[in-house]
């Protein structure tokens, strides 16, 4: 006999068909949706900390600036100071929360050793990127929406109702900000080895970019070379474009802002994909 078992030979094709490699088509939609829901449920379980706290912080900024300085601040290009300030604060809430969600999710999983639970399922690098970014962007947009609603109520009570001049600008730049900073959070979370590393990124990169982007002021009031430097800050275009949707006032060319933010999304998306595909600092 040649050593071949006819019974085993007969069973093997069937068992391979039953327990072989699963095929999901081009996209593993179930796995992608499951990881997205996991990211959303992660921050919704502590909604007081992840959603309500940022909204209250933003409202405090709005109240302090308008009550303490609003009366002494002149209108900017015909736009009352409170109407100019509110969109900047809303955008700041969107991008900071989007960054925090993705970066903390990945870093905590690395520190706890549970990142393997994300890497082992049959999810491609593109699907992992999309799920992490979508989950973080959902938090950023949710915080931004609630902040916008509550800010509109405060402004209405103050006699300066929030206007809407361009819905497309509000929608596009809010989504772009959430996606861009979600991707930055993915990159930061993968790179960081401990929370001190992530805090350094927040303190030395994210915070300066947001505070020096015209959130609280018009860049036209800045002296040189700070005014020119502002136009090299990508966050300036996000805030300026988003603000123009409410006030109709844009300090930069909106077409440039759209082109730059699209390029950033493509570039950062490719960077996230490359890091997740290579397993950089994830599979050590």
Count the neighbouring beta carbons within 10 Å of the beta carbon of residue 18: 7
* pLDDT given at position 86: 93
- Structural domain includes residue 19: no
Q: What is the pLDDT of residues 117-171, one digit of tens each?
A: 998 888 999 999 999 999 999 999 999 999 999 999 988 888 888 889 999 999 9
Tokens of 9: 């030979």
pLDDT average, residue stretch 236-245: 96
Range of 79's domain?
26-278
Tokens of 154: 């405060």
Count the neighbouring beta carbons within 10 Å of the beta carbon of residue 215: 19
Question: CA-CA-CA-CA torsion for 109, 114, 116, 119, nearest 10 degrees?
Answer: -50
Q: Does 24 have pLDDT greater than 90?
A: no
- Structural domain includes residue 15: no
Residue 79 bridge partners (DSSP): 76
If we measure between CA atoms, which residue out of 96, 171, 185 comes closest to residue 133? 185
Q: What is the pLDDT of residues 107-131, one digit of tens each?
A: 999 999 899 999 888 899 999 999 9
CA-CA distance, 264 to 259, in Å (whole number)? 9
Q: What is the pLDDT of residues 206-234, one digit of tens each?
A: 989 888 888 888 888 888 888 888 999 99
User: Could you give the C-alpha distances from 282 to 103, 148, 203, in angstroms and in order?
Assistant: 13, 37, 24
If we measure between CA atoms, which residue out of 268, 271, 214, 211 comes closest to residue 239? 214
Q: How many domains does the chain have?
A: 1
CA-CA distance, 103 to 198, in Å (whole number)? 8
Q: What is the pLDDT of residues 38-61, one digit of tens each?
A: 999 999 999 999 999 999 999 999
- Structural domain includes residue 14: no
Task: Tell me phi and psi for residue 51, to 5 degrees.
Answer: -120, -55
- Structural domain includes residue 196: yes
Q: Does 84 have pLDDT greater than 50?
A: yes
* pLDDT given at position 22: 54
Average pLDDT, the chain: 88
pTM for the full model? 0.89
If we measure between CA atoms, which residue out of 262, 177, 167 comes closest to residue 213? 177
- Structural domain includes residue 172: yes
């Amino acid at each position: 006999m040649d050593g071949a078992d006819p019974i085993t030979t007969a069973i093997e094709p069937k068992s391979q068909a039953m327990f072989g490699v699963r095929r999901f088509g081009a996209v593993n939609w179930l796995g992608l949706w499951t990881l997205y829901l996991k990211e959303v449920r992660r921050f919704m379980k502590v909604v007081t900390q992840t959603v309500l706290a940022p909204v209250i912080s933003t409202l405090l900024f709005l109240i302090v600036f308008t009550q303490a300085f609003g009366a002494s601040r002149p209108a900017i290009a015909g736009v009352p100071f409170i109407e100019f300030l509110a969109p900047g604060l809303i955008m700041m809430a969107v991008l900071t929360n989007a960054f925090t969600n993705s970066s903390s999710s990945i870093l905590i999983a690395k520190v706890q050793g549970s990142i393997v639970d994300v890497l082992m399922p049959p999810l491609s690098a593109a699907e992992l990127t999309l799920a992490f970014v979508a989950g973080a962007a959902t938090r950023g947009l949710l915080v931004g929406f609630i902040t916008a609603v509550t800010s509109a109520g405060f402004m209405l009570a103050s006699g300066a109702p929030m206007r809407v001049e361009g819905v497309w600008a509000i929608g596009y730049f809010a989504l772009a900000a959430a996606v861009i900073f979600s991707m930055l959070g993915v990159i930061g979370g993968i790179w960081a080895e401990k929370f001190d590393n992530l805090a350094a990124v927040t303190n030395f990169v994210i915070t300066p970019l947001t505070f020096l982007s015209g959130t609280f002021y018009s860049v036209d009031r800045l002296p040189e070379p700070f005014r020119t430097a502002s136009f090299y800050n990508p966050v300036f275009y996000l805030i300026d474009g988003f603000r123009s949707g409410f006030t109709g006032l844009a300090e930069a060319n909106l077409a440039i802002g759209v082109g730059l933010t699209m390029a950033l999304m493509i570039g950062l998306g490719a960077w996230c994909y490359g890091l997740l595909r290579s397993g950089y600092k994830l599979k050590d």
